[in-house]
Chain A
């Protein structure tokens, strides 16, 4: 019975996904020294005249979005080899591309495909990687992102994060009649799926470490409540609805607990709670604001925002509780932290001189670096490989998302055709 209900919910979610809500990506600040790469359109063998998906275009866009690569425009492709035997390396050396990607998309049965790719070092004339993947039609984009991940990892030594997703909140309509929507899309903005729609604010999506669930804050009952929802089935349950604030949920790295903010005892404090409910443990105790907890990747400590020193700053407390240690000292406002996957950097909203921008604090050196140049930037979220930070910013009178490389040199903007988009949360790696 429940299986049928879940199936129905799944169908609803899939059909409810509005195509117009797709995010469009525009690179706003290029990177010097990006590695030139040629991605040749894949050969197509199938019953239809054209391939069902332009795999090479997806791969090229992924690599460009990382800021580490610059793909050769299609018009500059001197040849269209499909197999290794057809590659003439001297052609590509003349174009000064370091690497070459070729491949083939083949229809094995109606709706069933096989995707092959090969990656070459043009100057050495060697094959660096290659693989073949079977895929149903609806999985072709995912396979393309997986190939991007393999190419990225082979060439940079760092795991790729293209086959991941982004959760975000949109709002549309007049101020008197707003609609809030929580969505999940691929990291390139495609395939947006509506998770929840409400006439009251939705906030603070947080991914479970295995990427299967999202915790969020909803005001649908005219008070703040935290729910946990299965991304695929859409089934959800209420986790916290105490008196006052139920906010800022953040999963422990082992997925068993949530850190959250409650004001049930009089003012905003950090608590830890079992994901299955119960075993509520209070971590902070101050008359000031304590909120926005984020777990360190080792699960041993929690970073949070507090104004106990007179202004909002970041602090760290043991996950067992105890006294807190102040982490930020530059600027009069540092809040809304995210911790890098290796635990060595903090991204935050950094307020100084009336501007709110995204900054990164290197926890080893103590150096703070401002990465963005907006007026009202907020909600930084690291990519699971730690190379990029996605955040919310203003563009004219609209709210859009931007992503910036951790060194601040490369930026891109992700915007909706209409309405505001905010509170991005980058998913963990898929399985």
Chain B
């Protein structure tokens, strides 16, 4: 119970932080990045304060739901998921467990540096990292499909770290 409450606080904090960083990122023309949850509203979703989160009440259409955050970002040449993103993925896992008919595609991507097929492999590793967390939290294997686009489908155009950090990602596509 305590763990759950803690994780929501981390989540709320993370949403505040991501809200800040995304305002800078959008100047670079970051298309398709969903980042609607503001800190205050995002935290207010934490109905799980009493311990039992009712994931079945989560809606994919609710911009204030943690599920509206559907992009996980990565460091250069890494498939490691940050602690805060792990908490976010636990929310998605809860939703998928509560909705066993729901399907999810994980689209792994990289920045443009390095060779193209290596980047396909790296994007695959990133999507696999996300899938592992979802499955550890009870999501059935059949609910999740992985595809890696490597550097072929950048979210942001450009040849600097500002674009690259937005492109090193896994998109959760419901």
B114 near A: Cβ within 8 Å? yes
A289-B121, A312-B77, A375-B159 known; A351 vs B113 contact (CB < 8 Å) = yes
A305 to B114, CA, bound (A): 11
Within 8 A of A (CB), among B144-161: 146-150, 152-154, 157, 159
Q: Which one, A224, A333, A376, contacts B112 given CB within 8 A?
A: A376
Enumerate chain A residues within 8 angstroms of B128, measured Cβ to Cβ: 263, 266-267
Given known pairs A201-B149, A267-B124, A312-B77, the reply for A248 and B117 (CB within 8 Å) is: yes
User: Hey, what's the 0/1 contact readout for B131-174 against A, CB within 8 Å counting as 1?
Assistant: 00000000000000011111011100101000000000000000
Residue B17 at the chain A interface, CB threshold 8 Å: no
Q: Cβ of A379 and Cβ of B118 under 8 Å apart? A: no
Are the CB atoms of B115 and A379 closer together than 8 Å? yes
Chain B residues near A423: list those with CB within 8 A: 116
Does B71 lie at the interface of the complex (its beta carbon under 8 Å from any beta carbon of A)?
Answer: no
| Contact, CB under 8 Å: B118 / A224 | no
**B67 CB–A CB distance under 8 Å:** no
- For A, the interface residue count at a CB cutoff of 8 angstroms equals 39
Residues of A within 8 A of B154 (CB): 175
Report the nearest B residue to A245, measured CB to CB: B124
Q: Which chain B positions have C-beta within 8 A of A263?
A: 121, 124, 128
CA distance A83 to B147 in the complex (A): 64
Which of B77, B112, B146, B159 neighbours the largest number of chain A CB atoms within 10 Å of its CB?
A: B77
B14 at the interface (CB under 8 A from A): no
- Check B117 against A204 for contact (C-beta < 8 Å): yes
CB distance from B153 to the nearest CB of A (A): 7
The answer to whether B147 and A292 touch across the interface, beta carbons within 8 angstroms, is no
Indicate with 1 or 0, residue by residue over B104-123, a CB within 8 angstroms of chain A CB atoms.
00000000111111101110
Asked if B20 CB lies within 8 Å of chain A CBs, one says no
Q: Which of B114, B115, B117, B122 has the most CB of A within 10 A?
A: B117
The CA-CA distance from A204 to B149 in the complex, in Å, is 13
The A381-420 residues at the B interface (CB cut-off 8 A) are 394, 397
Question: Is B117 in contact with A291, judged by CB distance below 8 angstroms?
Answer: yes
CA distance A175 to B128 in the complex (A): 26
Q: Are B121 and A261 in touch, CB under 8 angstroms?
A: yes
Cross-chain contact of A204 among B31, B116, B124, B157 (Cβ < 8 A):
B116
A245 and B148 within 8 A (CB): yes
- A227 contacts partner chain B, Cβ-Cβ < 8 Å: no
A28 to chain B, nearest CB (A): 20
Cα separation A379 to B146 with both chains bound (whole Å): 25
In contact, B124 and A203 (Cβ under 8 angstroms): no
B125 contacts chain A at the CB level, 8 A cutoff: yes
| Cβ-defined partner of A305 (8 Å) among B77, B115, B148, B149 | B115
Chain A: CB-nearest residue to B122: A289
Pick the residue among A175, A261, A266, A376 that contacts B157 (CB under 8 A). Answer: A175
**Residues of chain B within 8 A of A261, CB atoms compared:** 117, 120-121
A289 touches B31 (CB 8 A): no
Let me know if A183 is at the binding interface, CB within 8 A: no
Contact assessment for A335 and B152 in the assembled complex, using a CB-CB cutoff below 8 Å: no
Asked if A219 and B124 sit within 8 Å, CB to CB, the answer is no
- Alpha-carbon distance between A394 and B115 when the two chains are bound, in angstroms: 14
Query: Is B77 a contact partner of A292 (Cβ separation < 8 A)?
Result: no
Known: A289-B125, A397-B159. A305 touches B118 (CB 8 A): yes
Q: Check if A356 sits within 8 Å of B113, measured CB to CB.
A: yes
Contact yes or no, A267 B125, CB < 8 A: yes
Known: A175-B31, A175-B154, A397-B159. A247 touches B149 (CB 8 A): no
23 contacts between A and B (CB under 8 A): A175-B31, A175-B154, A201-B152, A204-B116, A219-B147, A224-B120, A224-B147, A244-B148, A247-B120, A248-B117, A248-B120, A261-B117, A267-B125, A268-B121, A268-B124, A289-B122, A292-B118, A312-B118, A333-B114, A336-B116, A356-B114, A378-B116, A379-B116
Q: A224-B148, A379-B116, A423-B116 are in contact. List 9 more A-B contacts (CB 8 A).
A: A201-B149, A201-B153, A203-B116, A204-B116, A222-B147, A263-B128, A333-B77, A335-B118, A336-B118
